[in-house]
Amino acid sequence: MPVIGVLSLQGDFAEHVLMLDTLEVNSTEIRSQDSLQNIDGLIIPGGESTAIMRLLELYDLKNTIISLAKTGMPIWGTCAGMIILSKNILHSESQNKIHKYDPLNLIDIDITRNAFGRQIDSFEFDLDVEGLTDPYHSIFIRAPQVSRIGKNVEVLSSINDSTPVILKQDNILVSSFHPELTHDNRIHELFIKMF
């Protein structure tokens, strides 16, 4: 069984750990270079992408994560985690400030932050997901949208066949919603199947 690191700098890392527990998958909270050494995969949780990226740089974890990704280690980003793994971060019209941190550029997609609107515009949706038989009830909170998809990126699920919300490129998986906030561990199971 793989050991999954859960980046635990900010956001809902604890909920990911609990989800992995339900699948009896070992996990470890990642806050240092040392803790990155003995993992087989990594989850970057939802939260505030600017805060997580600031802390990634402060704790000098960014380049190590990029190197691990290049060795083929599976990495999954949910919501803010998806923003962090993307190639470019764009802004919705309501935001005119420049994002200060460069994303990790591990999946060939561009992202618009908060593209569905503010906190009050958060919503839930029953998604059809490739590899799952029944719909997945998903929770979107100040979610990003994908504005450009590179040709090697697969779309595993979209809202109404038009807005992609789960994507994969080789060992990198991203979802714009929060599977860790439900009681349904099937997306976590899909990630574990990547090992």
Spatial distance between the Cα atoms of 193 and 107, rounded to a whole number of angstroms: 19
Indicate which single residue of 10, 112, 114, 185 sits in contact with ligand GLN (rule: CB under 6 A).
114
Catalytically active residues are 79, 178, 180
**What's the closest the beta carbon of residue 178 comes to ligand GLN, in angstroms?**
6
Which class for 78: exposed (0-12), middle (13-18), buried (19 or more C-beta within 10 A)? buried
In this complex, which beta carbon is closest to ligand GLN, that of residue 5 or of residue 103?
103
**What's the closest the beta carbon of residue 45 comes to ligand GLN, in angstroms?**
8
Does position 80 interact with ligand GLN (CB under 6 A)? The reply is yes
Contact 5, 43 (CB under 8 A): yes
* SS3 (DSSP) at 181: helix
Indicate which single residue of 48, 57, 108, 170 sits in contact with ligand GLN (rule: CB under 6 A).
48
* SS3 (DSSP) at 173: strand
- Binding residues for ligand GLN (CB under 6 A): 46-49, 79-80, 83, 113-114, 141-142
